[in-house]
Amino acid sequence: MTFTEKARQAAAASWQGSFSHPFITELQAGTLDQNIFRYYLIQDHYYLKHFNKLYTLTAEQTSHPELKAMLYRNAEHLALGELAIRKAFFEELEITENELAAVPVAPTAYHYVSHLYRQLLEGTPNAAAASLLPCSWLYQELGTALLSKQSPVPIYQRWIESYAGADTLENVQQERAVIDQLYTESSPEVQEQMMAAFIISSEMEYTFWEMSYQRETWKKDEAVVESQTAGHSKA
Active site residues: 135, 205
Separation in Å, CA 198 to CA 21, 33, 39, 218: 20, 30, 25, 26
CB atoms within 10 A of CB 221: 10
Look at residues 80, 1, 4 and name the one whose alpha carbon lies nearest to residue 48: 80
Look at residues 137, 143, 142 and name the one whose alpha carbon lies nearest to residue 161: 143
Largest CA distance in the chain: 49
Torsion of Cα atoms, 27 then 33 then 34 then 35, to 10°: -130
- 164: which DSSP letter? -
What's the Rg (C-alpha) of the chain?
A: 17
Burial of 54 (0-12, 13-18, 19+ CB in 10 A): buried
- E-assigned strands of 145-184? none
Contact 186, 6 (CB under 8 A): no
Rounded distance between C-alpha atoms, residue 174 and residue 4, angstroms = 12
Q: φ, ψ for residue 134 (rounded to 5)?
A: -55, -35
